[in-house]
């Protein structure tokens, strides 16, 4: 019964999203999510502290972003290091097979204040992860914070376009394009 | 009993902060907050939807920020308009008599994930207010988003310094200084 389920978090997230769409976030219980995924309530709680967390699959994204920044070429400037990390994220996480899920997930998040709050804090934590990773590259503290703020904006622009139903471009190129736009507008005129 | 209490939100926030410090956020009830403030539970709920909201006093800050951006000189660039708004905020809201309260409030927010989440969403909403106010000045959409991201960083830097126990400078000048630092670091090298 309690055997190891390596794909449990993903299955639980998929079931949760189905149920939130069908019955609403408020009307869905953890037990229903677990049952729909063919798992138990205790398996759910091994992976997530509560229902609110089920659509925020752990630290995967923060880890990928941190690694991506760390492995950027030594000569890369802070915002280029962030762009490299977004590229890496596009290759390994925001992949084509996750696009439909991400779109549906975002619609559910946008519709619920308590999920928007959780997302907002996750975003701040991600920005903090970027700043730390840039610090470890020796980027001065304030430059790191500026790059992380602009990197977060690049992420948002790229993500919004990536989940847009009319878009078929991959996440990495969308991030590169958004970065170029932000640079063209922001850097010179502020 | 139910007569109009114009200063009720501020009194409720002050009582809530006292009680959160004394007994912890989780252990404090809305009734206790209202009683400490010499008000009723129904007065509390006329001003705040729940306990979580009591330290986030309505839309005052968003309104001041929006007005400040709107009334910046026509020739001011987007980030200068934001700086003008932060100046105005320093004159009317982040005043010397609020500094100790703001410091204590921030310590309570930092210690509770659910308050940090609410704060994170409020910050996103504030950034959105800045973007809208800049849009109304005719600033192109992406420039507005860049200025709002950098303006949020300037705000954070200034606020952290303003509530620092070792600091005695006013909020407005701190914001001007933070803006100069962000410009010096960010704009040229990203």
B189 touches chain A (CB under 8 A): yes
B190 touches chain A (CB under 8 A): yes
pLDDT in tens, A58-91: 668 889 999 999 999 999 999 999 999 999 999 9
pLDDT at A4: 61
CA–CA min distance A149, chain B (Å): 6
Q: Are residues B180 and B120 in the same domain?
A: yes
pLDDT in tens, B3-27: 566 789 999 999 999 999 999 999 9
A167: domain CATH number? 1.10.357.10
Please answer whether residues A79 and A151 qualify as being in contact, where contact means their C-beta atoms are separated by less than 8 angstroms. yes
In a domain, B3, yes or no: no
Q: Which residue of A has its CA nearest to B187?
A: A187
Among B174, B158, B150, B172, smallest CA distance to A190 is for: B150
In a domain, B137, yes or no: yes
CB contact under 8 A, B186 and A187: yes
Who's near A134: CB < 8 A, 6+ residues apart? A69, A78, A81, A82, A143, A144, A147, A148
What is the total count of domains within chain B? 2
Statement: residue B33 has pLDDT above 60? yes
Distance CA B8, CA A91 (A): 53
pLDDT at A5: 67
Q: Suggest the residue from A149, A159, A183, A184 to mutate for an interface test with chain B (most B CBs closer than 10 A).
A: A149
User: What is the ipTM, given to two decimal places?
Assistant: 0.86
Q: Per-residue confidence at B188, pLDDT binned at 50, 70, 90?
A: very low
Q: Are residues A85 and A146 in the same domain?
A: yes
B40: domain CATH number? 1.10.10.60
Q: Per-residue confidence at B186, pLDDT binned at 50, 70, 90?
A: low
pLDDT at A186: 63
Per-position DSSP letters for chain B, written without gaps between them: -----TTHHHHHHHHHHHHHHHH-STT--HHHHHHHTT--HHHHHHH-SSGGGTTS-TTHHHHHHHHHHHTS-TT--HHHHHHHHHHHHHHHTS-GGGHHHHHHHHHHHHT-HHHHHHHHHHHHHHHHHHHHHHHHTT--HHHHHHHHHHHHHHHHHHHHHHT-TT--S-HHHHHHHHHHHHIIIIIHH-
Who's near B83: CB < 8 A, 6+ residues apart? B151, B154, B175, B176, B179
Q: Are residues B177 and B93 in the same domain?
A: yes
pLDDT in tens, B119-175: 999 999 999 999 999 999 999 999 999 999 999 999 999 999 999 999 999 999 999
Q: Are residues A44 and A78 in the same domain?
A: no
Q: Are residues B29 and B107 in the same domain?
A: no
Among A156, A157, A138, smallest CA distance to A81 is for: A138
Q: Are residues A72 and A163 in the same domain?
A: yes
B121 touches chain A (CB under 8 A): yes
Q: Are residues B43 and B81 in the same domain?
A: no
- Round the CA-based radius of gyration of chain A to a whole number and report it: 18
Q: Are residues B26 and B105 in the same domain?
A: no
Q: Are residues B88 and B164 in the same domain?
A: yes
C-alpha distance from residue B143 to each of A68, A96, A173, A176 (Å): 27, 30, 21, 17
CB contact under 8 A, A182 and B116: no
pLDDT at A57: 80
Which among A78, A120, A153 has CB closest to B120?
Answer: A120
pLDDT tens, chain A, 190 aa long: 455 667 899 999 999 999 999 999 999 999 999 999 999 999 999 999 999 999 998 668 889 999 999 999 999 999 999 999 999 999 999 999 999 999 999 999 999 988 999 999 999 999 999 999 999 999 999 999 999 999 999 999 999 999 999 999 999 999 999 999 999 886 545 5
Q: Are residues A38 and A80 in the same domain?
A: no
pLDDT in tens, B72-125: 999 999 999 999 999 999 999 999 999 999 999 999 999 998 899 999 999 999
Write the Ramachandran bin of A38: left for phi over 0, alpha for psi from -120 to 50, otherwise beta. Answer: left
Q: Are residues B72 and B39 in the same domain?
A: no
In a domain, B118, yes or no: yes
pLDDT at A59: 66
B118 touches chain A (CB under 8 A): yes
CB contact under 8 A, A140 and B185: yes
pLDDT at A188: 47
Statement: residue B58 has pLDDT above 90? no
CA–CA min distance A2, chain B (Å): 30
Domain that holds residue B85: 60-184
């Amino acid at each position: 019964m309690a055997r190891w389920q390596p794909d449990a978090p993903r299955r639980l997230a998929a079931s949760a999203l189905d149920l939130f769409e069908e019955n609403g976030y408020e009307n869905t219980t953890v037990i229903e999510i677990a049952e729909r995924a063919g798992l138990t309530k205790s398996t759910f709680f091994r992976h997530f502290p509560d229902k609110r967390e089920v659509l925020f699959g752990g630290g995967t994204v923060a880890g990928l972003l941190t690694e991506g920044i760390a492995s950027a070429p030594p000569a890369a400037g802070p915002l280029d290091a962030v762009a490299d990390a977004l590229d890496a994220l596009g290759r390994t996480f925001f992949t084509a097979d996750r696009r439909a899920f991400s779109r549906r997930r975002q619609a559910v998040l946008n519709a619920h204040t308590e999920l928007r709050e959780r997302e907002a804090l996750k975003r701040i934590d991600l920005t903090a992860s970027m700043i730390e990773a840039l610090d470890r590259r020796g980027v001065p503290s304030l430059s790191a914070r500026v790059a992380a703020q602009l990197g977060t904006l690049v992420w948002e622009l790229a993500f919004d376009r990536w989940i847009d139903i009319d878009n078929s471009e991959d996440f990495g190129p969308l991030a590169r394009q958004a970065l170029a736009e932000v640079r063209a507008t922001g850097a010179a005129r502020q």
